[in-house]
Structure 1
Amino acid sequence: MADDVRVLIVDDDFHVARLHATYVDSVAGFLALAPAGSVSQALQAIHSLRPDLVLLDTYLPDGSGLDLLGQLDADAMMLTAASDAHSIKVALRRGALAYLLKPFTAESLSQQLRAYARYRRILGQQTAVDQATIERAKRSLIPGDVAPSGKPRSATETAVLEALEPGQQYSAAEVAGRVGVSRATAQRYLSSLADDGAVEIQLRYGTTGRPEHRYGVPG
């Protein structure tokens, strides 16, 4: 869909790249682009496809992913086997939003991508932010470290949250029907609740078309 986060995977191992692409596509709101296997291919893909997020390996056949990281005008995370402290410090210094060591599970990457989605939503809600919002956005990048915003919930937001019964998953349209608001309104409040960690987003695959976003309260 047009509002999906478009992700470019840069890894010289084709099979690993395709596996990671499968992981990315399994996360609600993310779309994996055709992977790039080298620095030169990555630069071409970034220029032509304009991805929102780049997932970079360190060891590439024609250069270092760390050097490529310093050239990017895009959000980036490192997915790499490089576990030495120097590489990690360089990656963070050059702007990597996350550093995930190989091998990792689909759930590990999924959690990191969901954290990144929260980060984007928090900073995309307004043009000017205060210091508290900046700190909230920074915390949101750490999976499992989402703190409540501290703002009191509105009556509608409370109703949306209370409409989610523990152990059940609902679509935005179903929540809208239970609360008595429009689907767009329910979607907006569900996204805000997801930012605070009060709501989890999952996927349900049907027989045709794209998977459906489902919402529930953490178990």
Structure 2
Amino acid sequence: MTIRVLIVEDDIRVANLHAEFVRRVPGFRVVGMAHTAAKARTLLDEVRPDLVLLDNYLPGESGLLFLRDTTVDVIMLTAVSDVPTVRAAFAAGALNYLVKPFDAEDLAERLHAYARYHAQLSSSDRTATQADIDRAVRLLHERDRKETPKGRSSATARLVAEELREHRNPASAAEIAAKLGIARATAQRYLTGLAQDGRATMTLRYGTTGRPEHEYQWID
């Protein structure tokens, strides 16, 4: 069974990148892309997706408003990571939440988990038992985190964690990278991992140039 995916993302380049990530995952097919919530609503009827990959930054209407109005399965893909927004997304029905930036493997893990969840609850001609429901929930999230992420060094992870812990104020990936002499993208990956593990908080720093930047602070 092929899972039909609609990508809702305001940035055309990012939308195309996410579409490429999806195409690498067997069993998934991109059936449409929308850059506004209004267009997404139209495509819901036209392409009838099984799953929507939804950004929160959309022209004219936030992704959260769109999420509240749809019954289609949704995974949020967004740079917004403040706790109220994350909680609101899950309360509105999001099945998962992936914070940008992420790589193809990060998204593939969520898609594989969704495929297992979808298969568990795909039959509409029977009543789900409590065991069915419990298993579906476990399948949806059980592989969101890896013990040893591929391509990541435990030594580098330790250095990033120590630098962030010693940094009294919230720090950006660029600041941590400059301190350690590593690439910003590398620092970003490890800092995001610390936030996902609950060892650091991740918020947005609003500046004067373009989109907001993530900043991180160690949790004592």
User: TM-score surpassing 0.5?
Assistant: yes
Matched with 1:136 is 135
Normalized against structure 1, the TM-score is what? 0.63
- C-alpha distance in structure 2 between counterparts of 1:117 and 1:25, whole Å: 14
1:85-139 deviations in whole A, cap 9, x for unaligned? Answer: 0110110001000000000110010010000000011112571222122111001
- C-alpha distance in structure 1 between counterparts of 2:38 and 2:119, whole Å: 31
Contact 1:38 1:60 in 2 (8 A): yes
Alignment of 1:57-96 (within 5 A): 57-96=55-94
Structure 2 residue runs of 5 or longer lacking an equivalent are: 145-220
1:59 positional shift:
0.7
Q: Does 1:103 align with 2:95?
A: no
1:5-40 deviations in whole A, cap 9, x for unaligned? Answer: 110000000000000001111111000123100011
1:158-187 deviations in whole A, cap 9, x for unaligned? Answer: xxxxxxxxxxxxxxxxxxxxxxxxxxxxxx
Structure 1 residue runs of 5 or longer lacking an equivalent are: 146-219
Number of aligned positions between the proteins: 143
Q: RMSD between aligned alpha carbons?
A: 1.3
1:68 positional shift:
0.2
Matched with 1:127 is 126
- C-alpha distance in structure 2 between counterparts of 1:63 and 1:129, whole Å: 35
Contact 1:14 1:37 in 2 (8 A): yes
1:49 positional shift:
1.1
Normalized against structure 2, the TM-score is what? 0.63
- C-alpha distance in structure 1 between counterparts of 2:79 and 2:10, whole Å: 13
Q: Does 1:38 align with 2:64?
A: no
Runs (4+) off by over 2 Å: none
**Identical aligned pairs, as a percentage?**
47
Contact 1:111 1:143 in 2 (8 A): no
Matched with 2:182 is none
